[in-house]
Amino acid sequence: MKKKLIILTAILLICMGLSPNMSAKFPSADQMLFNSAQGRDFFVAIPPNEDDRQPYGNTGELALEIYVTSSKNCTVSLEIPGIGKKITKKVTAFMITTFSSVQQEISFGLEVRTSEKVLDDKGIWLHADQPISVYVLNHRNVTADGYLAIPISACGTDYIHLAYYDLMETNAGGEYRGGGFLICAGEDNTKVNIQLKGVGGTLAKTLGGHKIGDSWSVTLSKSQVYCVMGDGTTRGQFDISGSRVTTNKPVGRLFLFINAC
């Protein structure tokens, strides 16, 4: 029987801070381990956080970071297959190991801001020799987004998207924030079928030009990423929640993002 999941239950995505003076709060090892989202293989990607013109940096206050912990001593590798990058680190039981933009191990260039194009260089593969938990934090100047990653072993093939309306910030020089979802394939020859549903179909489209009611398919190779995002030209009117995504193989990551925090 196929698994059919509401995306909101597939991943925890939290808008963690709105004030430029508010520090991001990353989870403790106990918090990361007190869940059922442990595994040895994860494919993740970085949703867009805020308008791309919002400040970011490589400091402790502004950083893109991936946290890994385990209940056992182990070794974890972070790979970005599309650019041939691999970093391997030791994980001490009940301690957090960090991959950070501060150390130039990852970068804000991994944020996915291209919609409806197959991307080779955005998928991130984390794998370990013991079960691990993975948490991703994207901290810009005025907002910090984070999510608990789900291992490949817990992924399904039938999803319904749930996110939020697009938000055009007209008082801030025309900043465009679109809501949507990302897909990251965990296997080669992963066929993805998308049925775009939602509200506000007469007012806006996706960033790639698709309308609500459209259906299309793409085929992804292992670690490739595909995004569907609203064009951000409306405020509280266009939302692609209810869109359905089915695949012939469990996708390494399918999750929502709310690019209007």
- Three-state secondary structure along 132-198? EEEEEEEECCCCEEEEECCCHHHCCCEEECCCCCCEEEHHHCCEEECCEEEEEECCCCEEEEEECCC
pLDDT digits (tens, 9 = 90+) for 71-116: 999 999 999 999 999 999 999 999 999 999 999 999 999 999 999 9
Residue with tokens 């695949």: 247
Tell me the C-alpha distance between 65 and 60, whole Å: 10
What pLDDT, on the 0 to 100 scale, is given for residue 6?
35
Q: What is the pLDDT of residue 177?
A: 84
CA-CA-CA-CA torsion sign (87, 109, 61, 65): negative
Query: 75 with 90: CB under 8 angstroms?
Result: yes
| pLDDT the model gives residue 8 | 34
3-state helix, strand, coil in the chain (%, to 5): 10, 45, 50
Which tens digit of pLDDT belongs to each residue from 149-172? 999 988 889 999 988 899 887 665
Burial call 218-256: b when 16+ CB within 10 Å, e when fewer: bebebbbbbbbbbbbbbeebbbbbebebbbebbbbbbbb
pLDDT at 258: 52
Which amino acid type is present at position 42? Answer: F
Tell me which residues of the chain have a pLDDT lower than 70: 1-26, 57-61, 170-174, 252-261
Residue type, 99: F
Distance CA 163, CA 118 (A): 21
- Tokens 């996708």 appear where? 251
